[in-house]
Amino acid sequence: MRSSERADGAGGCRRFLHLVHSLALMAAALASTGCASTPTAQPGQAIDAVAPLPASEPIATNSRNWPDTYSYANPDRYVTRHFDLDVTADFEGRRLWGAVTLELDKVDPSARELVLDTRDLAIERVMAAPAGSDRFRKVGFSLDPVDPVLGQALRIDLPADARRVRIQYASSPHATGLQWLTPEQTAGKRSPFMYSQAQSLHARSFVPLQDTPRIRSTYGASVRVPPGLVAVMAAAGDAANARGAAEFRFRMPQPIPSYLIAIAVGDLEFRPTGPRTGVWAEPAVLEAAAWEFGDAEEMLRRSEALYGAYRWGRYDVLVLPPSFPFGGMENPRLTFLTPTVIAGDKSLVGVLAHELAHSWSGNLVTNATWRDGWLNEGFTTYFERRIMEAVYGEERARLEWGVGLTDLRRGLAELAPEDAWQGALAPDLSQHKGREGSGVAYEKGALFLYQLERRYGRAELDEFLRGWFDRHAFTSVTTPQFVRQLQDNLMQRFPGRVDADFLSSWIDGTTLPPDALLVQSDVLARVDAQRQRWEEGALPTASLATEHWTVQEWLEFLDKMPVPQPHARLVELDRRFSLTASGNAEIAHSWYRLAIASGLRDIEPALEQYLVTIGRLKLIRPLYAELMKTPHGTELARRVYAQARPGYHPITQRSLDRVVK
């Protein structure tokens, strides 16, 4: 997921040392279930003990207790090593129904209770069987009271020899991880559409499982769909040759965390963009999408040159309807993308580079808890910039860094005092259940790695990161683990370049360190100089030299403008550059935000259309929040939201309900 687009997280403490033992056993099991066939994949790394740092106590990175507070699962007793999903996509009932069969490793010999995560699931029956047996017998189960963030713990009573558990269930029409769209809500407007979004805590709303990134498992799936529709999953399958089939089969031979489970059903067609890459989309947008993302194969090759072999087979993308709440979701083998990045000029393909980079940082090596999210997103944002530099040149990467720095500074400035914890890379989430995270982990995490690049040299950092991905392939890791390996591999080899105070300021600190080394862009500096002269009245609007501006330059110009701006100047700017009618979703967002903050009402008809037709949280939530600052804006926001809400994804609805209502 890119930028500040992760909307939520989740919780339930477990004992760290038991979990280390659990993961070690799970990894050993995975090594014997086919994962060893993946080139250079070395599953089986237990979580390291963490050596004390010489200064700056207390430091979060020195913690030996690193629980996952967002899951009810008990992996100190049982660990899922594989599951098989057998479901029907019921569009009339707006639900998935069927069964999931979990293959378990028993960690604690005395264990008799398996605890799974669920949310709004109708559990019909639970059965259990010994390993390798199909002799399933009904067993008892119970559901805990509902927690508004975590859902419900499903507690299953198991016989001593049980290693297989089969659960018959159905999802709710209101499942937070699924959106069911009518034909009118799609691009082609001729067939219904369904898609999932499991990150961070939403897999539990359509599959009962151990919904924690600590646990990785392989899976197989059978999905039945209505006639004429195509099912795709973030897994290997034959959907490209199966239009008209009633059932689609998939398999994921690499172990993944639950938040990377992904499914979509709709009127879909496929077009290859290279030997290992291609695009799924509705026919109405397929051609434009295939052109926009035509550099995916080149991005993939450049990525491998940086940090090693791509270990997932194919890299395809699925373009979803506009209601998709994020820019992209890095589901392995099948990235989900918003159509708002189809700009017609490849100016927004940084989102594609970001999701591709997740194939290493996030998918291959995963944050063990959502407290460690920067190990996914910060690493990936840094890697994204390196891909953009390799494919499009150094200046393009500098532009992306510049826009990211503006986002970071705005994000830090907008944090309320009680939310300062969100400015840390590895915050303690145990006290903040249900609170939405910010995008700081993305840009601050990337800048942290850039600091290491400047202090150790790019070649040394690349060698370290490549080794990090190789050593921990197909495992989940923590921040203390990263710090330990940084100490062993760089800090000890090059003493004096980084110390504990530096680590503390970046990982535990809640601000941007004042001595941070920043990526400079001469192009953006020239934009800033023009904007300053324009604001002072020394440069007429007609004389602004924007003929060759990129999207990033326009964002720099608009996002750094102080507010409020005089209406006459904004009207003149809009008349010259047609910003209200911009077809670029990012430019339109920045323009609308500036206009709302300045009280310019001329943009309201176009703004209303924008809010009704786009569901990407990054683009619309700030606009609603800005509207809610004035009585007139509040009235407009509530009226538009009442109209738009039914077409938004459940994740978007939950987020905006708190803003608008």
The 10s digit of each residue's pLDDT in 52-84 is 333 323 333 333 456 788 999 999 999 999 999
Q: Hey, is 218 helix, strand or coil?
A: strand
317 forms beta bridges with 279, 335
Per-residue confidence band for 7, with pLDDT thresholds at 50, 70 and 90:
very low
Q: Does 15 score more than 90 pLDDT?
A: no
Q: Report the pLDDT value the prediction gives residue 319, as an integer from 0 to 100.
A: 98
Per-residue confidence band for 529, with pLDDT thresholds at 50, 70 and 90:
very high
Q: Report the pLDDT value the prediction gives residue 661, as an integer from 0 to 100.
A: 81
Q: Report the pLDDT value the prediction gives residue 241, as an integer from 0 to 100.
A: 60
Q: Report the pLDDT value the prediction gives residue 1, as an integer from 0 to 100.
A: 78
Joined tokens for residue 233:
């999953």
| Cβ pair 381, 404 in contact under 8 A | yes
Q: Does 361 score more than 50 pLDDT?
A: yes
| Cβ pair 456, 494 in contact under 8 A | yes
| Cβ pair 411, 440 in contact under 8 A | yes
Phi, psi of 99, deg, nearest 5: -150, 155
Q: Does 8 score more than 70 pLDDT?
A: no
Q: Hey, is 389 helix, strand or coil?
A: helix
Q: Does 642 score more than 60 pLDDT?
A: yes
Rounded Cα–Cα distance for residues 275 and 312 (Å): 14
pLDDT in tens, 90-105: 999 999 999 999 999 9
Q: Which of these is catalytic: 442, 592, 624, 648? A: 442
Q: Does 35 score more than 70 pLDDT?
A: no
Q: Report the pLDDT value the prediction gives residue 5, as an integer from 0 to 100.
A: 63
Q: Does 28 score more than 50 pLDDT?
A: no
Rounded Cα–Cα distance for residues 532 and 527 (Å): 9
Q: What pairing do the DSSP bridges indicate for beta strands 236-237 and 193-196?
A: unpaired
Q: Report the pLDDT value the prediction gives residue 69, as an integer from 0 to 100.
A: 86
Read off the DSSP letter of residue 507: I
Q: Report the pLDDT value the prediction gives residue 240, as an integer from 0 to 100.
A: 60
Q: Report the pLDDT value the prediction gives residue 53, as an integer from 0 to 100.
A: 30
Q: Hey, is 97 helix, strand or coil?
A: strand
Look at the block and give the residue holding tokens 């986002």: 407
* Weakest mean pLDDT among 234-238, 349-353, 405-409: 234-238
**The residue type at 120:** D
Q: Report the pLDDT value the prediction gives residue 2, as an integer from 0 to 100.
A: 66
Active site residue 442: yes
pLDDT in tens, 151-208: 999 999 999 999 999 999 999 999 999 999 999 999 999 999 999 999 999 999 999 9
Q: Does 22 score more than 60 pLDDT?
A: no
pLDDT in tens, 426-435: 988 877 777 7
Q: Does 124 score more than 60 pLDDT?
A: yes
Per-residue confidence band for 438, with pLDDT thresholds at 50, 70 and 90:
confident
User: What is the sign of the dihedral through the CA atoms of 262, 263, 267 and 268?
Assistant: positive
Q: Report the pLDDT value the prediction gives residue 242, as an integer from 0 to 100.
A: 67
**The residue type at 508:** D
| Cβ pair 211, 258 in contact under 8 A | yes
Q: Report the pLDDT value the prediction gives residue 430, as an integer from 0 to 100.
A: 76
Closest C-alpha among 324, 420, 609 to residue 623: 609
Q: Report the pLDDT value the prediction gives residue 132, as an integer from 0 to 100.
A: 93
Q: Report the pLDDT value the prediction gives residue 473, as an integer from 0 to 100.
A: 95
Closest C-alpha among 31, 45, 167 to residue 105: 31
pLDDT in tens, 251-299: 999 999 999 999 999 999 999 999 999 999 999 999 999 999 999 999 9
444 forms beta bridges with none
Phi, psi of 156, deg, nearest 5: -120, 125
Q: What pairing do the DSSP bridges indicate for beta strands 216-224 and 78-90?
A: parallel
For the segment 635-649, the average pLDDT, to the nearest whole number, is 97
Q: Report the pLDDT value the prediction gives residue 431, as an integer from 0 to 100.
A: 74
Rounded Cα–Cα distance for residues 469 and 472 (Å): 5
Distance of CA 299 to the CA centre of its chain: 19
Closest C-alpha among 453, 479, 519, 370 to residue 48: 479
Rounded Cα–Cα distance for residues 243 and 226 (Å): 11
Joined tokens for residue 398:
């500098």
Look at the block and give the residue holding tokens 């017609």: 344
Look at the block and give the residue holding tokens 């993939």: 300
Rounded Cα–Cα distance for residues 242 and 237 (Å): 10
Residue 495, preceding peptide bond in cis (omega within 30° of 0): no
Q: Does 29 score more than 60 pLDDT?
A: no
For the segment 478-504, the average pLDDT, to the nearest whole number, is 94
Q: Does 36 score more than 70 pLDDT?
A: no
Joined tokens for residue 300:
């993939």
Query: Which domains does the chain possess?
Result: 16-69+359-508 (1.10.390.10), 78-346 (2.60.40.1730), 523-660 (1.25.40.320)
User: Which are the contacts of 66, defined by CB distance < 8 A and separation ≥ 6?
Assistant: 16, 47, 368, 369, 371, 372, 478, 479, 480
Q: Report the pLDDT value the prediction gives residue 19, as an integer from 0 to 100.
A: 34
| Cβ pair 413, 358 in contact under 8 A | no
Look at the block and give the residue holding tokens 């890299």: 315
Q: Which of these is catalytic: 5, 282, 330, 355? A: 355
269 forms beta bridges with 281
Q: Hey, is 320 helix, strand or coil?
A: coil
Q: Hey, is 496 helix, strand or coil?
A: coil
* Weakest mean pLDDT among 14-18, 314-318, 347-351: 14-18
Residue 422's CB is within 10 A of a number of other CB atoms, namely 21
For the segment 455-465, the average pLDDT, to the nearest whole number, is 98
Rounded to two decimals, the pTM is 0.90
Q: Hey, is 334 helix, strand or coil?
A: strand
Active site residue 219: no
